[in-house]
Amino acid sequence: MNQKNNVTRRDFVQKATLATGAASLGFTNFMKAQGRGVKSKSPLSIDSFKTAFQREPLINSYGFKGGYITRLWQVVSQLQDSSGNKTIGLGVNAPLWSDSKVTSVWGESGGNSAMFNLTCRALQMIEGQSFETPIHMVEDILDEVWAYGTKITNNADLRTTFALNCLTSIDNSAWMLYAKQNNIASFTDLIPDKYKTAFSYRSDKIASIPSISYSTSIADIEKLKDEGYFFIKIKIGAPGSQQVMLEKDMQRMEQIHKIFSTELAKTNPERKIVYYLDANGRYESKGTLKRLLDHCKKIKVLDKIAIVEEPFPESLDVDVSDLGVRIAADESAHTDTDALKRIEMGYTGIALKPMGKTLSMTIKIAKLAHDRNIPCFCTDLTVNPVLVDWNKCIASLLKPFPGQDVGLLETNGGQNYRNWETMIGYHPMGRAPWNQTQNGLFTLGQDFYEESGGVFHELEHYKSLFED
C-alpha cells in the first residue's frame, strides 16, 4: 500500500523526524537574453512549500551495484510564490545508486528516510528566497545540503550525487514555477540561452533501452528480444568478491548473448544488437575489467559493446583511454567539474540523469560535454512515467549517439514497478503515441514537441497528496 506523508513549513520538525525514523504548463515563449531588446526574465521567487512521498513496490527485487532494492520512494515537492502560483515537482529516491555506503549502514528504508529528511531541509533553505534561475538555486544550496547530509548519515565522505538526488523533486518544481513566472510554455524554450547549443538536435526517434539486472529472468530477457529491443543495458558487477563477481559477469554475458546471438531477424531486422554494460563502480582494478573484456572478445561480444558505464570506484584515478571500448561516466560525474575530470581521464561518454541529479546540473554537464565533443545519452533511475517524459525531453534534443542514427534513453520502470499501469494513469498524457515502444524505439512526432511530452500538464494525482 502506498504511504503518504506531508510536510509543511509549520510542522516540518515533527514530520521530518518521522521521516528520518521511518522514513501544467508547457515549455514556450522563453525570453531572449538581455540586451536583445526583450524584457529580462523574472527571477525564481519561492514563498512556501509542501512535500510528500509515496512508496511504490517493485515486481521483484532489482539488483545492481552489488545490492538490491525492493521499492522506490516517489518524492513530491510543491512550491508556491507570493502570487499564488503553485507547481508540483517529482523525484525518485535512489540511495543505493547515489551512495551505497549509506544503504550498507542504514538499509533500504533508512537510506530513503535520510534522503527525504535532506529534501525537507533543502526546502526550508529556499523558503522565502529568490534566485536568478533554478540553476542558480541548486548552485547556491548544494554545498549546505551536502554538509547537512554528512551529519544525518554520519558519513563524512557522502557522495555529492546523494545530495543532488535529494534535490531532484525541488529542482523539478522550481523549473515549473520559473516557467509560470515567466510565461514559458515549451521545454526547448525553458533551457537558458547559454546552454542551448548542447540541445540543438531534434530527434524523430529514440532508442528505448531496457535494463537487465542480476535478477532479470531468462523468460523476461527472451521477451525483450521478442519485442524487438536492440540496445540492451546489462547490469554487471554481481555480488561477491572480485573473483566471484568476474566469474558471474562472464557467465551472465554468455547467457544473455546466447539469447540475442540470433540477432533480430524476425522482430526487428533493420537493427543489430548493441550491449551497454553498467558496472556501477564495482570493478576495483583495470586488470579485472580487461579480463571481462577479453572474455567478451572470446565469445564474440566485444564488437557489440557500445558503452561500458562507470566501471571503477570513483576514488580510482586511472586512465581508461586504452581499454578499447567507450567508457562512460555516470555517478562519478556528480557535477560539471567532476565530469571534466572524467573526460581528462579518457572517458568518452557521459550518462545524463536529469531526474537523478537534477535538470539544472544535467544542463551544465551536457554543455560541458558538448563543448568537448563528448557524446551524451540519457539514463533512467527507474523513474515514474511523468519523469520518463522529462528524460525524453532531454534525450530528444541530444545528437544521435556515435554508431547509431537515433538518440538513447534508458527506461526500465515498466519492467520493474508492480503498479506501472496505474502509474501511467497519473501522467495526463501517459498513453500518448510517443510513449508507445515499437521495435525498441520511441517515435516522436510534432505532437511530442508541441506538448513537451505532456510534462507541463497538471498532475492531479500528485496534487491530491496535499489536500486536507
Which tens digits make up the pLDDT trace of 307-332? 999 999 999 999 999 999 999 999 99
**All domains of the chain, ordered by start, with CATH?**
5-190 (3.30.390.10), 193-466 (3.20.20.120)
Band (30; pLDDT cuts 50, 70, 90): very low
Q: Note the pLDDT of residue 73.
A: 97
How many percent of the chain have pLDDT more than 70?
90
Mean per-residue pLDDT over the chain, rounded: 90
Strand intervals (E) in 130-256: 130-131, 205-209, 211-212, 231-235
| Structure-block grid coordinates of residue 88 | 508540483
Q: Note the pLDDT of residue 456.
A: 97
pLDDT higher for 340 or 67? Answer: 340
Q: How far apart are CA 144 and CA 131, in angstroms?
A: 16
Overall average pLDDT of the 22-26 stretch: 34
On whether the CB atoms of residues 68 and 61 are closer than 8 A, the answer is yes
Q: What H or E segment, with its residue span, contains residue 247?
A: helix 242-260
How many percent of the chain have pLDDT more than 90?
85
For the ranges 85-94, 241-250, 252-261, 283-292, which has the lowest average pLDDT? 252-261
Which tens digits make up the pLDDT trace of 342-376? 999 999 999 999 999 999 999 999 999 999 999 99
For the ranges 1-15, 48-62, 380-394, which has the lowest average pLDDT? 1-15
Classify residue 291 as exposed, middle or buried by CB count within 10 Å of its CB (0-12, 13-18, 19+): middle
Per-residue pLDDT at 218 exceeds 70: yes
Overall average pLDDT of the 387-396 stretch: 98
Distances (CA, A) of 122 to 129, 136, 176, 342, 361: 12, 14, 17, 28, 16
CA dihedral sign, ordered 101, 74, 63, 438: negative
Q: Note the pLDDT of residue 26.
A: 35
Which alpha helices (H) appear in 87-133, and where do they start and end?
A: 95-98, 100-126
Q: How far apart are CA 392 and CA 293, in angstroms?
A: 31
Q: Note the pLDDT of residue 266.
A: 67
Overall average pLDDT of the 271-275 stretch: 91
Per-residue pLDDT at 429 exceeds 90: yes
pTM of the complete model: 0.90
Q: What H or E segment, with its residue span, contains residue 242?
A: helix 242-260
Enter the DSSP assignment of 304: G
Per-residue pLDDT at 385 exceeds 50: yes
On whether the CB atoms of residues 196 and 367 are closer than 8 A, the answer is no
Per-residue pLDDT at 2 exceeds 50: no
Overall average pLDDT of the 16-40 stretch: 38
Q: Which amino acid is at 206?
A: I
Band (65; pLDDT cuts 50, 70, 90): confident
Instruction: Give CB contacts under 8 A, 24+ apart, made by 191-197.
Output: 191/30, 191/363, 192/133, 192/135, 192/363, 193/32, 193/33, 194/33, 194/367, 195/363, 195/364, 195/366, 195/367, 197/367, 197/370, 197/371
Rounded to 5, what percent of the chain is helix, strand, coil? 45, 20, 40
Find where cell 522506490 sits: 72
pLDDT higher for 37 or 45? Answer: 45
pLDDT higher for 77 or 34? Answer: 77
Which tens digits make up the pLDDT trace of 79-90? 999 999 999 999
**∠ Cα 376 313 369 (to 5°):** 20
Q: Note the pLDDT of residue 308.
A: 98
| Structure-block grid coordinates of residue 86 | 503553485
Q: Note the pLDDT of residue 37.
A: 37
Which tens digits make up the pLDDT trace of 449-464? 999 999 999 999 999 9
Band (62; pLDDT cuts 50, 70, 90): confident
On whether the CB atoms of residues 305 and 325 are closer than 8 A, the answer is yes
pLDDT higher for 143 or 4? Answer: 143
Q: Note the pLDDT of residue 374.
A: 98
Overall average pLDDT of the 69-94 stretch: 97
Q: For residue 178, count other CB atoms closer than 10 A to its CB.
A: 26
Q: How far apart are CA 346 and CA 278, in angstroms?
A: 17
137: Cα separation from own chain's centroid: 19
- Give the dihedral of Cα atoms 193, 199, 202, 203; nearest 10 deg: -160
Overall average pLDDT of the 176-195 stretch: 96
Per-residue pLDDT at 265 exceeds 90: no
Per-residue pLDDT at 272 exceeds 80: yes
